[in-house]
Structure 1
Amino acid sequence: MSPQKTRPDALTLEVVDLIGSVVARYHEEYEEAAGEHALTGAQARLLSLLTLEPLPMRRLAQKLRCEPSNVTGIVDRLEARGLVERRPDPADRRVKLAAPTAEGRRIARSLRDSLDFAREPLAGLSHEERLSLRELLQRMLDA
């Protein structure tokens, strides 16, 4: 017999709803920002990931939580627009890395700069409050 789950308290439910609202608004704004550059949300997310470091398709698929074949299609479309290029992995020449071009980095920076929803409310928090929020969110992700 499995143990009965306790029903979440009202505060927990309210926090879960607030997190859901924040995530929904962030995605909405991200999609709008992507659209201003004639990108889909998935294309914008992939481009943003690549600005951190060039990645092989399989790793991109893991980070985006999708199939490698989907990533290949996204990279193909970004490459056709001159935003991404494929290059050999210096550690294993058989592996191709996707990397942003200079124009891809410029668009990714523009996308990041246009996301006011998340940035503006955070600016109203003190440095200590932002540190605390970061720590709490990280703890949630690590659990």
Structure 2
Amino acid sequence: MRAKVLGALGEPLPMHRIAEKLNSERSNVTGIIDRLEARGLVERRSDARDRQVKNIVAAPAGAVLARNFRRSLGFAAEPLAALGPDDRVQLRDLLRRMVDAEA
């Protein structure tokens, strides 16, 4: 889940948007952000338009980790290339069901 959060941080996001992107509870995301922040992988920053909102931003170390993680998933690109768009959607949905069943 921490890798998913880091991967979702292409731009500064408030925690509620991260929770929406990951289909997760806000309280769960808060705990994940706390752990990532403690490791120096993300930072909380006040929003320029609304000082009460805290945006989550990948720290330099977190951005490098997320980039390396994405690169490490390259092994799946070739087998997935043989699947058409509909098959990829079906595979994604099946994998989500598997992950959700484990949670």
TM-score normalised to the size of structure 2?
A: 0.76
Aligned twin of 2:21? 63
Aligned twin of 2:6? 47
1:1-143 alignment runs, 5 A limit:
42-50=1-9, 52-122=10-80, 133-134=84-85, 136=86
Specify every segment of 5 or more residues in structure 2 that has no aligned partner in the other structure, as ranges. Answer: 91-103
User: 1:139 Cα deviation (Å)?
Assistant: 8.2
Residue identity matched to 1:112: R
C-alpha RMSD of matched pairs (Å): 2.3
Question: Identity over aligned residues, as a percent?
Answer: 53
User: 1:137 Cα deviation (Å)?
Assistant: 6.7
Aligned residue-pair number: 91
Q: 2-side partners of 1:89 and 1:138: how far apart?
A: 37
SS at 2:52 equivalent: strand
User: 1:138 Cα deviation (Å)?
Assistant: 8.9
The higher-RCO structure (CA 8 Å, 6+ apart) is 2
| Distance of aligned partners of 1:48 and 1:92 in 2 relative to their CA distance in 1, 3 Å threshold | same
Specify every segment of 5 or more residues in structure 1 that has no aligned partner in the other structure, as ranges. Answer: 1-41
User: 1:122 Cα deviation (Å)?
Assistant: 4.3
TM-score normalised to the size of structure 1?
A: 0.56
| Distance of aligned partners of 1:122 and 1:67 in 2 relative to their CA distance in 1, 3 Å threshold | closer
The structure that has the greater radius of gyration is 1
Displacement over 2 Å in runs of 4+: 120-123, 136-140
